[in-house]
Chains A and B, each alone.
Chain A
Amino acid sequence: MSILEEISENLQKGRAKVVKELVQNAVDSGVDPETVLKEGLLPGMSVIGERFKNNEVYVPEVLVAARAMNMGAQVLKPYLERAGIKAAGKICLGTVQGDLHDIGKNLVKMMMEGKGLEVVDLGTDVSPDTFIRTAIDQNCQIIACSALLTTTMGVMEEVVNKAVEAGIRDRVKIMIGGAPVDEAFCRKIGADCYTPDAASAAEAAAGFCASMGA
């Protein structure tokens, strides 16, 4: 097994310390850091995402895999920055105002990062204005909103309306998700995309970013 395959395998098993060591070893032995990311860490996370989508692994397995990915990515970060490697797109993500559930949102973040995208994590209880301001200030291609409460999902509609008011609707895609959200609600409020799980959310986001030439 190559060291890249080893990284991917151990990431899938959630072995954070091993992944960290392997990534360091790979870089030390001269493997290009971008290759370590794109052929070691990201494929590992993709496998986990796919298996999560198919209900073959569950939230705990995803969380430990993501923790391992983060440990590996931290090792790579300074090398990638020095080499001027840019992310494949930028998303601002948060749980909407009045809502403090963040496990689903965090999984979406991890999966998006697992696709090589940069995520500006706005945390929980995020106002529509904050989403819009961040998207403008940080040049995000996508605003992604999570809501777990029937009583807070209405905030997503405000985000869509505020994006129109701010004149950015044509250059920002709006993705929504979370427990009570579905496709019909997405169409009703005029958002661009709903997905039922984090792995498909990341795939859709990567697709948008690619099509928007990020």
Chain B
Amino acid sequence: MTNRERAMNILHFRPADRMPAVHFGYWQELLDEWAAQGKIPADLAEGNFDGSAKEAELDRLIGWDFNWYRTYGSSNHLAPGFETKVIETLPDGTRRVQNADGIIERIKPGITSIPSEDDYLLKDREAFEKLYKPRMQYMPGRVDLEFYSRFNEIRPYDVPVGLHLGSVMGNIRNITTVTGMSYLLYSEDEELFADIVDTYAEMQYKCAEAILQTGAKFDFAHYWEDICFKNGPLMSPAVFDELCAKHYKKRNDLCRRYGIDVISLDCDGVIGKLLPTWVENGVNTMFPIEVGVWGDQFEPARMKFGKEVLGVGGMDKTALREDRAAVDREIERMRRLASLGGFIPCPDHRLMPGTKFELVQYYAEKIKEIRP
């Protein structure tokens, strides 16, 4: 049995010979840490991203079967992007830089990680109509049709491969910031925010359609949202439903017409309150179900929605920073969850600094002993 068959069988409640060892990648800091500790060759810490050849090499070293995030999609950002330019330099050396999304970021000297958001351009109807709407349209360059017409010959068949559907709200949050999104939701122009969501969603629908029309075959489809935090959703579930439900339905119906019936969605934080919108509109696979940091859980979703809800994730990755006993406890918990069917254990987010290499190897070995 290939890992693709294993995974797809489990997600369809069919028998599989064993559980595949599935992961969700790493923080760059962890790869650097492992390289410095001599656990992995230094070159494996560079250019190691989801679906890359280096990742495959590291998978072999650890004993992973695959990363769930092996997806292919379209170019769905603003096109063309805004010109990146320095707007001002402050006395302490901090630069205020406008990025491709029209967000003004503060880049402090000496801080390497991604910059903090300071301001944003998408504030009113005029900015939307003039600056953003034209950049949110479907155009041929967004989908590499030539690549997708050859896709079935070049895609791997031993691991599941997904069609990335983009997002409905996540990218909007990215181009408006959480604060900007909040103000836009309560703009005096009551239609504005919905118009933004609709425009962006329509473009992403067309991208997905163009890809599927080439005949390219996928095992699952996938969204990225990140629209929740430790206490629940970043916006009211009712508002989220009103704005987003129809777009999920339209994109998911399209996928089903092309035979894709596993549709997963990546959302951090505590997601329970948004589940009804997702499940009722065709998203059926929750990922990565963050247990460790926020105590989110898979069982309540299964209890509420029955076998309509599948899961990939739910393993408390913080155990991989502790010891074998902690990992063993997680393995036992995963064994119980796996027995529900339609569930594949996976660390509940990217592995972070402090994660012990040997424990990850140990986990990958043990998880394969589970008989679904």
A interface residues with partner B (beta carbon < 8 Å): 14, 55, 57-61, 63-64, 67, 98, 100-104, 106, 124-125, 150-151, 179-180, 196-197
Contacts and interface: CB of A to CB of B under 8 A. Distances in A.
Given A59-B182, A60-B182, 18 more contacts: A58-B233, A58-B235, A60-B186, A60-B235, A60-B236, A64-B183, A67-B183, A100-B113, A104-B229, A106-B179, A124-B116, A125-B108, A150-B352, A151-B353, A179-B293, A179-B294, A180-B293, A196-B231
A59 B178 contact: yes
Contacts of B230: 179, 196
Contacts of A64: 182-183, 185-186
A168 to B, nearest CB: 26
A55 B181 contact: no
B185 A60 contact: yes
Interface string B275-308: 0000000000000000001100000000000000
Given A151-B352, A179-B229, A58 B236 contact: yes
B236 A14 contact: no
Contacts of B47: none
A13 to B, nearest CB: 9
A124 B111 CA distance: 12
A60 B114 CA distance: 24
B178 A55 contact: no
Interface of B: 29, 108, 111, 113-116, 178-179, 181-183, 185-186, 229-236, 239, 273, 293-294, 352-353
B116 A57 contact: no
> Main SS of chain A's interface residues?
loop
12 contacts: A59-B234, A60-B183, A60-B186, A60-B234, A60-B235, A61-B182, A98-B113, A100-B111, A100-B113, A106-B179, A125-B108, A151-B353
Given A59-B234, A63-B182, A125-B111, A151 B116 contact: no
B232 A60 contact: no
Given A57-B236, A180-B293, A102 B116 contact: yes
A200 B235 CA distance: 19
Nearest to B231: A197
A151 B29 contact: yes
B231 A55 contact: yes
